[in-house]
Structure 1
Amino acid sequence: MKGFLGFILSAILSASVFSQDAEKAIKRMTQPDVMVVVDEYVDGSFVGTRAIAVSIENELLKEGFKVIDYHMFENLRAKELEASEGNPEKAREYSNRFGAEIIILGYAQAEYGGETEFYDVKQHKYTGQVDIKIIYAETGELIGSVTASDRRFGQDKKGAVNALFKSLASKVTKNVISKLKERMKEEEQARKIEIAVYGISPSKALALESKLKDAISSVKALKYKFFDTNVLVFDAIISSEEQLRRELANYGELKIVKLTPRRVTLSPPEMEREAKSTATEGILDIVDFSIPPIFPSQYSFYAYNPIGQLTVENPTNREIRNVKISILIPDYMKVPSEKVVSVIKPNSKEQITVPVTFDIKSLLKLNENVIAQAQAKVTYTSGGKVEERSLSKPVTIYNRNSISWRIPESVCSFVTPNDGVVKEFARVVLGSVKLPETNLPRNVINAIVIYNAVRTYGIKYVSDPWKVAGGEILDNVYFPRELLYYKTGDCDDHAILLASLLESVGIRTAFILTSDHIFLIFDTGVPKKNAYLVSFNPGDYIIYDGSVWLPIETTLINESFTTAWKTGAEEYYKLGGLDKIGALEVKEGIIFKSGNIYIIDVHRGWKVFPPVDVEGLPGPQTKPDISLVSSSVLKDLDMFKESYRQTLTEMINTLGSKGDEVSINKIAKILVLFDRYDDAEKYVSKFSGAVTYNSLGNIYFLKNEPSKAFEFYKKSIELDPNDGGVYLNAGLLFYLNDEPETAQEFFELAISKFKTPEEAYEVLGIEDILREFEGVAAEKKDVSKKQVSKEELKKLIEEASKVSTQQSKKGKEYKKEEIFEKGQNVFVFGGRRGADPTQLQTVKSLLYWKF
Structure 2
Amino acid sequence: MHRTRGLLIPLTLLFLVFTTCAVSSNRPDTDTKESLLARALLNRDWQEAVKYAEELLKEKDSPVLYAVLAYALSRTGKKKRALERLSGRTDHISLLTRAAIKGTKGVKLGSLKKPARSVGVVFVESRRRNGVELGIVSRAVEVKTLKQVFYELKKEPTTEEITRFREKVLSAVGEYVLAGEPIHFDEDGAVYMMFVDTGSLKKAVDTGTRRKVLRIGVITHRGDDRYRKNVIKELRAHGYSVRDLGKGELYKIQDKLKTVDMVIELVEDVVAGEKVLGGNFRQFEARVEMTVYSAHPVKSLLNLKDRTAIVHVDDAVGEEMAIKSSYEKLLSRLYTTMHSIKKQLAELDAELPLKVRVNFDKVFSSNYKYYASYPAGTITLENTTTRPFKGVTLSIAIKKYIDYPTRLVIGELPSGKTIRKPLNIVFNSRILDITDNTFIQSEVKVTYIDSGRKQEITLSSPIYVYEKHALIWDDKGKIASFITPRDPVIVDIATAAVSGYNERGLSRNVVKARALFGAMGVLGISYMEDPNSPFSVVSGLKGVVDFVQFPRETIARKVGDCDDLTSLYSSLLEAVGIRTAVVDVPGHVFVLMDTGVPESEEIYFGFPRESYVLRNGTIWIPVETTLVGASFTEAWKKGSENYKKWLGKAKIIEFEKARARYLAPNLPKKRAELTVSKKDIERRFTGELERLRKKRIQYVRERLSELGSLGLIKLIRFYAREGMLDDAIKVARSIHGFKRNAMVLNNLGNVYYLKRKYHRALKYYRDAYRLDKKDAGILINIARAYMRLGNRKMAKHYFDKALKIDSKFKDRYITLYTEING
TM-score normalised by structure 1 residue count: 0.49
What corresponds to 1:284 in structure 2? 354
What corresponds to 2:436 in structure 1? 368
**Matching residue's letter, 1:402:** A
* 2:395/2:408 contact within 8 Å kept: yes
**Matching residue's letter, 2:692:** F
Residues 707 and 634 (structure 1), Cα distance of their counterparts in 2 relative to 1, 3 Å cut: same
Structure exhibiting the larger radius of gyration computed from Cα positions: 2
What corresponds to 2:410 in structure 1? 341
| Partner SS, residue 440 of structure 1 | coil
The whole-number CA distance in structure 2 between the counterparts of 1:737 and 1:475 is 67
What corresponds to 2:691 in structure 1? 639
* 1:449/1:633 contact within 8 Å kept: no
Residues 166-206 of structure 1: per-residue CA shift (max 9 Å, x gap): 8xx99xx9xx98xx89x99x99xxx984789xxxxxxxxxx
The whole-number CA distance in structure 2 between the counterparts of 1:477 and 1:532 is 39
Residues 457 and 693 (structure 1), Cα distance of their counterparts in 2 relative to 1, 3 Å cut: same
For 1:245-284, what aligned pairs fall within 5 Å after superposition?
265-266=348-349, 283-284=353-354
What corresponds to 1:452 in structure 2? 518
The reply to whether residue 543 of structure 1 matches residue 599 of structure 2 is no
**Matching residue's letter, 1:462:** M
The whole-number CA distance in structure 1 between the counterparts of 2:654 and 2:343 is 52
The whole-number CA distance in structure 1 between the counterparts of 2:554 and 2:715 is 43
What corresponds to 1:299 in structure 2? 368
TM-aligned CA deviation for residue 619 of structure 1: 6.7
The whole-number CA distance in structure 2 between the counterparts of 1:603 and 1:565 is 22
The whole-number CA distance in structure 1 between the counterparts of 2:386 and 2:793 is 86
**Matching residue's letter, 2:657:** R
Residues 41-68 of structure 1: per-residue CA shift (max 9 Å, x gap): xxxxxxxxxxxxxxxxxxxxxxxxxxxx
**Matching residue's letter, 1:447:** A
TM-aligned CA deviation for residue 735 of structure 1: 7.2
TM-aligned CA deviation for residue 838 of structure 1: 11
What corresponds to 2:307 in structure 1? none
Identity of aligned residues (%): 26
Equivalent in 311, 316, 320 of residue 380 of structure 2: 311
Equivalent in 427, 447, 458 of residue 379 of structure 1: 447
Equivalent in 704, 717, 720 of residue 672 of structure 1: 717
The reply to whether residue 567 of structure 1 matches residue 567 of structure 2 is no
Residues 7-36 of structure 1: per-residue CA shift (max 9 Å, x gap): xxxxxxxxxxxxxxxxxxxxxxxxxxxxxx
For 1:197-236, what aligned pairs fall within 5 Å after superposition?
232-234=343-345
What corresponds to 2:656 in structure 1? 603
Equivalent in 449, 466, 473 of residue 533 of structure 2: 466
Residues 530 and 378 (structure 1), Cα distance of their counterparts in 2 relative to 1, 3 Å cut: same
* 2:742/2:767 contact within 8 Å kept: no
What corresponds to 1:352 in structure 2? 421
| Partner SS, residue 427 of structure 1 | helix
| Partner SS, residue 484 of structure 2 | coil
What corresponds to 1:613 in structure 2? 666
What is the aligned-residue RMSD (CA, Å)?
Answer: 5.3
TM-aligned CA deviation for residue 419 of structure 1: 1.4
* 1:696/1:712 contact within 8 Å kept: no
The whole-number CA distance in structure 1 between the counterparts of 2:404 and 2:505 is 56
* 1:88/1:140 contact within 8 Å kept: no
What corresponds to 2:558 in structure 1? 487
TM-aligned CA deviation for residue 283 of structure 1: 1.5
What corresponds to 2:235 in structure 1? 89
Residues 376 and 519 (structure 1), Cα distance of their counterparts in 2 relative to 1, 3 Å cut: same
* 2:388/2:450 contact within 8 Å kept: no
* 2:445/2:459 contact within 8 Å kept: yes
The whole-number CA distance in structure 2 between the counterparts of 1:407 and 1:233 is 37
The whole-number CA distance in structure 2 between the counterparts of 1:437 and 1:390 is 66
**Matching residue's letter, 1:643:** K
TM-aligned CA deviation for residue 555 of structure 1: 0.8
The reply to whether residue 388 of structure 1 matches residue 459 of structure 2 is no
What corresponds to 1:506 in structure 2? 577
| Partner SS, residue 400 of structure 1 | coil
The whole-number CA distance in structure 1 between the counterparts of 2:604 and 2:554 is 33
Residues 192 and 422 (structure 1), Cα distance of their counterparts in 2 relative to 1, 3 Å cut: farther
What corresponds to 2:394 in structure 1? 325
* 1:697/1:708 contact within 8 Å kept: yes
Residues 368 and 626 (structure 1), Cα distance of their counterparts in 2 relative to 1, 3 Å cut: farther
What corresponds to 1:756 in structure 2? none
TM-aligned CA deviation for residue 821 of structure 1: 14
The whole-number CA distance in structure 1 between the counterparts of 2:698 and 2:489 is 38
Most deviating of 323-332 and 83-92: 83-92
Residues 637 and 289 (structure 1), Cα distance of their counterparts in 2 relative to 1, 3 Å cut: same
Residues 626 and 382 (structure 1), Cα distance of their counterparts in 2 relative to 1, 3 Å cut: same
TM-aligned CA deviation for residue 546 of structure 1: 2.5
TM-aligned CA deviation for residue 489 of structure 1: 0.5
The whole-number CA distance in structure 2 between the counterparts of 1:531 and 1:606 is 29
Residues 223 and 611 (structure 1), Cα distance of their counterparts in 2 relative to 1, 3 Å cut: closer
What corresponds to 1:629 in structure 2? 681
**Matching residue's letter, 2:509:** N
TM-aligned CA deviation for residue 491 of structure 1: 1.7
Gaps of 5+ in 2: 1-223, 248-261, 273-277, 303-333, 721-726, 752-760, 785-789, 796-800, 818-822
* 1:698/1:709 contact within 8 Å kept: yes
The whole-number CA distance in structure 2 between the counterparts of 1:535 and 1:508 is 20
For 1:627-776, what aligned pairs fall within 5 Å after superposition?
627-648=679-700, 651=703, 656=706, 662-663=707-708, 665-675=710-720, 676=727, 679-681=730-732, 685=736, 696=744, 699=747, 702=750
TM-aligned CA deviation for residue 631 of structure 1: 1.0
Most deviating of 406-415 and 618-627: 618-627
Residues 89 and 491 (structure 1), Cα distance of their counterparts in 2 relative to 1, 3 Å cut: closer
The whole-number CA distance in structure 1 between the counterparts of 2:450 and 2:807 is 92
The whole-number CA distance in structure 2 between the counterparts of 1:86 and 1:315 is 35
Residues 538 and 354 (structure 1), Cα distance of their counterparts in 2 relative to 1, 3 Å cut: same
The whole-number CA distance in structure 2 between the counterparts of 1:620 and 1:821 is 57
* 1:224/1:234 contact within 8 Å kept: no
The whole-number CA distance in structure 1 between the counterparts of 2:507 and 2:793 is 28
The reply to whether residue 554 of structure 1 matches residue 625 of structure 2 is yes
What corresponds to 2:496 in structure 1? 428
Residues 501 and 677 (structure 1), Cα distance of their counterparts in 2 relative to 1, 3 Å cut: closer
The whole-number CA distance in structure 2 between the counterparts of 1:225 and 1:837 is 76
Most deviating of 622-631 and 517-526: 622-631
* 1:429/1:453 contact within 8 Å kept: yes
Residues 381 and 825 (structure 1), Cα distance of their counterparts in 2 relative to 1, 3 Å cut: closer
The whole-number CA distance in structure 2 between the counterparts of 1:598 and 1:145 is 32
The whole-number CA distance in structure 1 between the counterparts of 2:364 and 2:776 is 57
TM-aligned CA deviation for residue 620 of structure 1: 5.7
| Partner SS, residue 674 of structure 1 | helix
What corresponds to 2:8 in structure 1? none
TM-aligned CA deviation for residue 466 of structure 1: 2.5
TM-aligned CA deviation for residue 837 of structure 1: 14
TM-aligned CA deviation for residue 513 of structure 1: 1.8
TM-score normalised by structure 2 residue count: 0.51
* 1:225/1:391 contact within 8 Å kept: no
